Amino acid sequence: MSRLDDLDRRTRLALGGAVIVVGVLLLVLGWYLISGEAVAAKQLPYLASASIPGAVLVVCGFVFAVSGTTDPATARKIAELHELLTDAVEE
C-alpha cells in the first residue's frame, strides 16, 4: 500500500478541502482577470493560467477528499481480491 492509503479520513478531507479552496481561488482570480478584458484573444492567457487549473484542482480535491472513505474491513477485502486476481494473472 502507498503512503496515501495510510492517511486517515480527516486528513484526506482536510487536504482535499485545501486543494478545493486553492482551486476556487484560482477560478475566482481567472474570472476577475477575464472579466476585465473585452477582446477574446486577451482572455485566453487568463483562461489557460488560472481558470482551467482551478477547475482541475477543484475536481482533484473532491476526488481526494472522498476517496478512501470505505471501512477498513471492505478495504481489506478489496486488497485481498486484488492480490488473488494479480496472482492468477501472473500464473
Residue 75 has pLDDT above 90, yes or no: no
Domain residue spans in the chain? Answer: 3-90
Per-residue pLDDT, 70: 64
Per-residue pLDDT, 54: 93
- 75 compared with 11, residue with greater pLDDT: 11
Contact residues for 33 (Cβ-Cβ < 8 A; gap 6+): 46, 50
Can you read off the three cell numbers belonging to residue 69? 472513505
